[in-house]
């Protein structure tokens, strides 16, 4: 295949003529953390950076004693978690906390600043993380890579510092937009939680509504049905009908369904049992899924969903078993609910549904912009699109 003018063919693909192919070890040095033992943990001293702390946890162990200065991490330090969960902890991070000590399973990444811009290198590592995960050792959820493998990953490299900074600036702007959307979604969710508490606790009456709420059990207002397990060979790679089971996300997809759209579901088993959801499309109700059906005419379905979602933590307290917890049908059937007259249900449901719609629109925007950011990374960091020549 003919190479376009201004580009050249290399072992890692076609790149701009004025770019180079480099290995990670040529632009950075990886320094591993120290394996702190539980008996060394203290209540004060320097905090120890564990994987969970890279994801925002403020729960620290501390160390008081002598240490090698190589594992001291200062604010702004580039780190790389070489063991962790795909898509979350595994990969690059910027440390934004106070001085701390680096635990095992994470590298301190010291870059050669004369060669590469740190912000550019952070974006490059994010792109390379997917390739690293593909070659990483370990199970599908928790993976790790080795120092030698990491150091020998090759990447296309713009030698112009100006071009590096321009690329980094565009990608950082995209990250800021994604972060802003994420914070807005979190804020909207907090507003919804507060609104749910005001409207569904029964303690704060809406203007014009003074009726006493009626006490019911779930089995008195609706029928609880358990789904049917689907065989693995009936799953499909195409996203046709989701299989709803004991998790928050679908456990797979199939080309058939056994339950119609606009149905309330409650996870029956698994680590997320008790999770309440509302399915807006036809789906397969699996063996670890309860559906709430044949709801009384006096009960608005969307109101019942919001009420059950508000009571979700209490529903989760019904779970039994430690290995694979589950919620027994008879315990769920006896779950108590306070329900107002129908017109009040309509008003409450309309308020909460509007908030849900706002959150869903923002989540769709976030998903789309993340895809845009992925395309930007792939184009800008490989030289497929040039910002300056």
CATH number for the domain that contains residue 69: 3.90.220.20
Identify whether residues 151 and 14 lie together within a single domain.
yes
Cα–Cα distances (Å) from 137 to 33, 132, 134, 143, in that order, read: 19, 10, 9, 6
Identify whether residues 148 and 165 lie together within a single domain.
no
> What mean pLDDT is predicted for residues 353-362?
96
pLDDT given for residue 141 in this prediction = 65
Whether 203 maps to a domain, the answer reads no
The CA distance from 303 to 347, in Å, is: 9
Q: What is the mean pLDDT of the chain?
A: 92
Instruction: Provide the number of structural domains found in the chain.
Output: 3
> Which class for 162: exposed (0-12), middle (13-18), buried (19 or more C-beta within 10 A)?
exposed
| Confidence band, pLDDT 50/70/90 cuts, at residue 354 | very high
Scanning 67-117, the segments in alpha helix (DSSP H) are none
Looking up tokens 């049992």 gives 273
Which of 142, 158, 174 marks a domain boundary? 158
| Helix (H/G/I), strand (E/B), else coil: 258 | coil
| Helix (H/G/I), strand (E/B), else coil: 325 | coil
Residue 63 has pLDDT above 80, yes or no: yes
The CA distance from 266 to 146, in Å, is: 41
Of residues 32 and 322, which shows the higher confidence score?
A: 32
pLDDT given for residue 346 in this prediction = 96
Whether 198 maps to a domain, the answer reads no
Residue 50 has pLDDT above 60, yes or no: yes
Looking up tokens 């049917």 gives 228
Identify whether residues 351 and 320 lie together within a single domain.
no
Identify whether residues 251 and 229 lie together within a single domain.
yes
> Which class for 210: exposed (0-12), middle (13-18), buried (19 or more C-beta within 10 A)?
exposed
Which of 75, 80, 69, 71 is CA-nearest to residue 99?
75
The CA distance from 155 to 162, in Å, is: 18
- What digits encode the pLDDT tens for the residues 231-256? 988 998 888 999 999 889 999 999 99
Whether 264 maps to a domain, the answer reads yes
Residue 187 has pLDDT above 90, yes or no: yes
The CA distance from 380 to 171, in Å, is: 9
User: Would you say how long the chain is, in residues?
Assistant: 389
- Its pTM stands at 0.81
- What digits encode the pLDDT tens for the residues 298-344? 999 999 999 999 999 999 999 998 778 999 999 999 999 999 999 99
* Contact (CB, 8 A) for 356 and 310: no
Identify whether residues 39 and 123 lie together within a single domain.
yes
Whether 117 maps to a domain, the answer reads yes
Whether 76 maps to a domain, the answer reads yes
> Which class for 301: exposed (0-12), middle (13-18), buried (19 or more C-beta within 10 A)?
middle
Identify whether residues 260 and 355 lie together within a single domain.
no
Residue 223 has pLDDT above 80, yes or no: yes
Q: What is the DSSP secondary structure assignment for residue 286, as one 8-state letter?
A: -
Identify whether residues 226 and 334 lie together within a single domain.
yes
Whether 1 maps to a domain, the answer reads no
**Beta strands, E only, 26-153:** 28-32, 46-49, 61-63, 72-73, 78-81, 83-85, 91-94, 100-102, 106-111, 137-138, 142-144
Residues 6 or more apart whose CB falls under 8 angstroms from that of 338 comprise 202, 213, 214, 215, 216
pLDDT given for residue 143 in this prediction = 76
Whether 209 maps to a domain, the answer reads no
Residue 142 has pLDDT above 80, yes or no: no
Q: What is the DSSP secondary structure assignment for residue 297, as one 8-state letter?
A: T
Which of 307, 324, 339 marks a domain boundary? 339
Sign of dihedral through CA atoms 237, 238, 239, 244? negative
Identify whether residues 18 and 129 lie together within a single domain.
yes
Q: What is the CA radius of gyration of the chain?
A: 26
Q: What is the DSSP secondary structure assignment for residue 103, as one 8-state letter?
A: B
Identify whether residues 315 and 219 lie together within a single domain.
yes
Which of 135, 158, 181 marks a domain boundary? 158
What's the domain range around 333? 214-339
Cβ of 77: how many Cβ atoms within 10 Å? 20
> Which class for 380: exposed (0-12), middle (13-18), buried (19 or more C-beta within 10 A)?
buried
| Helix (H/G/I), strand (E/B), else coil: 110 | strand
Whether 22 maps to a domain, the answer reads yes
* 270 phi-psi bin (left φ>0, alpha ψ -120 to 50, beta other): left
Identify whether residues 118 and 185 lie together within a single domain.
no
Identify whether residues 315 and 295 lie together within a single domain.
yes
Identify whether residues 32 and 48 lie together within a single domain.
yes
Least confident of 50-54, 63-67, 346-350: 50-54
- What digits encode the pLDDT tens for the residues 80-139? 999 877 777 889 999 999 999 999 999 999 999 899 999 999 999 998 888 777 766 555
Which of 197, 223, 382, 191 is CA-nearest to residue 299?
223
pLDDT given for residue 210 in this prediction = 82
The CA distance from 191 to 8, in Å, is: 53
pLDDT given for residue 133 in this prediction = 75
Residue 206 has pLDDT above 70, yes or no: yes
Residue 28 has pLDDT above 90, yes or no: yes
């Amino acid at each position: 295949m003919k190479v376009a003018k201004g580009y050249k063919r290399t072992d890692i693909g076609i790149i701009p003529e004025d770019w180079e192919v480099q290995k990670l070890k040529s632009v950075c040095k990886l320094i591993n953390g120290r394996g702190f033992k539980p008996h060394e943990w203290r209540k004060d001293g320097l905090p120890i950076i564990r994987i969970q702390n890279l994801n925002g946890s403020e729960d620290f162990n501390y160390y008081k004693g002598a240490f090698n200065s190589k594992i001291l991490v200062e604010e702004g330090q580039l780190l790389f978690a070489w063991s962790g969960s795909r898509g979350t902890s595994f990969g690059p991070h910027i440390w934004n906390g106070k001085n701390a000590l680096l635990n095992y399973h994470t590298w301190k990444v010291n870059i050669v600043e004369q060669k590469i811009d740190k912000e550019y290198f952070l974006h490059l590592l994010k792109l390379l993380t997917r390739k690293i995960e593909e070659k990483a050792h370990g199970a599908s959820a928790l993976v790790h890579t080795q120092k030698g493998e990491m150091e020998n990953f090759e990447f296309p490299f713009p030698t112009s510092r100006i071009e590096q900074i321009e690329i980094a600036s565009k990608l950082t702007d995209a990250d800021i937009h994604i972060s802003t959307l994420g914070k807005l979604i979190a804020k909207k969710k907090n507003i919804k939680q507060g609104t749910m508490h005001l409207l569904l606790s029964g303690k704060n009456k809406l203007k014009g509504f003074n009726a006493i709420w009626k006490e019911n059990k779930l089995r008195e207002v609706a029928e609880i049905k358990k789904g049917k397990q689907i065989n693995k060979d009936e799953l499909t790679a195409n996203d046709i009908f989701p299989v709803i089971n004991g998790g928050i996300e679908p456990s797979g997809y199939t080309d058939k369904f056994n339950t119609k759209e606009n149905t309330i579901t409650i996870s029956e088993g698994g680590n997320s049992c008790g999770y309440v959801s509302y399915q807006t499309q036809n789906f397969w109700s699996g063996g670890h899924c309860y559906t709430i059906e044949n709801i009384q005419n006096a009960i608005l379905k969307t109101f019942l969903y919001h009420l059950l979602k508000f009571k979700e933590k209490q529903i989760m307290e019904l779970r039994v078993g430690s290995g694979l917890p589950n919620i027994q049908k008879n315990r769920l059937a006896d779950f108590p609910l306070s329900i107002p007259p129908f017109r009040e249900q309509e008003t409450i449901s309309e308020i909460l549904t509007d908030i849900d719609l706002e959150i869903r629109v923002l989540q769709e925007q976030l998903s789309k912009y993340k895809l845009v950011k992925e395309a930007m990374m792939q184009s800008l960091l490989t030289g497929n699109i040039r910002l300056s020549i």
